Structure 1
């Protein structure tokens, strides 16, 4: 006969749902924790604590519990992520302003908040884990992931942004709307830069200095709409030419170091704004 379960006392509603699900799976098997621990490869006390404790158990423990009960690991992972997300929210004392959905992202502040929310919904994985999930050497270094999840930076290239989405285990079917949000945020921020720097001769420069563009093939019509019409024509001409795009930006060649200093000033201003959030 199985020992009677301790009452669930957590204030985390998502954790309560996870624990009730775990208990339901164990009840379905009719096994006690000692017998279940043999199949799970975990100590009986660890399994019991997972279905009773005040804190969210580790993911491997939850998956082992589900495996021992022949339950769905996908359902277990989903419930665990919700519990971790709610735990993060409670630690911060609740969120005063909800993170915007991808279609409502406008600038870096919105994008940064949404990326942190995406990270927390993924279960707040360790930066080492994110680096491994991102795939490929240097796709998403731990230091970069740390800066992004602490609102100190946003992904600077489309490849890095995709690596971040992969690290957060976002299904690829949802990538398109997130990529559109990333492009929109960069377009908004760069439009401000254009107002500060002037629009003259920016077409060739943007091909080299904007973090939007990894290769000419990655440039979309939405990205080109940032520029004035005559600059869009300049970009298209450069893309149609065989060989590498010229390395000397037109704006920089005409205006020299003053343009670079002003551009650096604008970027530092954006960075300070992100750090204050």
Structure 2
């Protein structure tokens, strides 16, 4: 018995164990373990090859109906459960080529992969309409508001279309319930959600620190002088004092065509911004460009210290 249990532990984990084919594979394994049989003994009892048992329990392929029926007749697998799981796995197998690619839930650690996995579990459930998802959650939510939140149709659509992640663990529970994910698999999803949110916080903190370090580079008169020199070297002459931040738009004049525009120094240094009038292919972002007359008025207002009129900010057609 101990030898058989050790062999069972060496089996590879079922990929996407929350999918219909994964749940069917786990059910077959559990039925065999309950009888204390090896895969070879199971194959002999059912009258099939050992490779058929291996494929059926791997979760990587769709087992034949007679194989599942053999587990019911010979190993005592619940017939209703087997029929339900096999039916879901059959429907999912027809859609397998169109399923969104996503890592296993236990490997999720960033928001993009998490969004893909949420869409995949919805696809594996047969792509239920948002109205169906809402109705599945509504009754349970009324009885257990401490664990679930109401999942509106719009929220379900945004999550399935990867426009947002669940806003809380409660909303994640509701979404998974709407996709008929239950039991111990919920804990795996919650752990992945906590990892993703922790990484988002770390990335936001790192970005904020990087911006602060960037700002320190341009503080003081020495920094302002370097900023003006850097902008001039890029072919853009400042027409107003440096705003004190590389992230704030700065009014400059193109040395080549004379256009007056607003450019962020940080973007210009990265090659992501420049004059889109004479060098449209080099600029990655659209920047406000003033007409020649409006630019001259704005430059004069900056030099004299007066406030430029509303018309002086108009864009050239």
Richer in strand (by share) = 2
Richer in helix (by share) = 1
Structure showing greater Rg: 2
Structure having greater relative contact order (Cα 8 Å, sep ≥ 6)? 1
TM-score range, shorter chain: 0.3 to 0.5
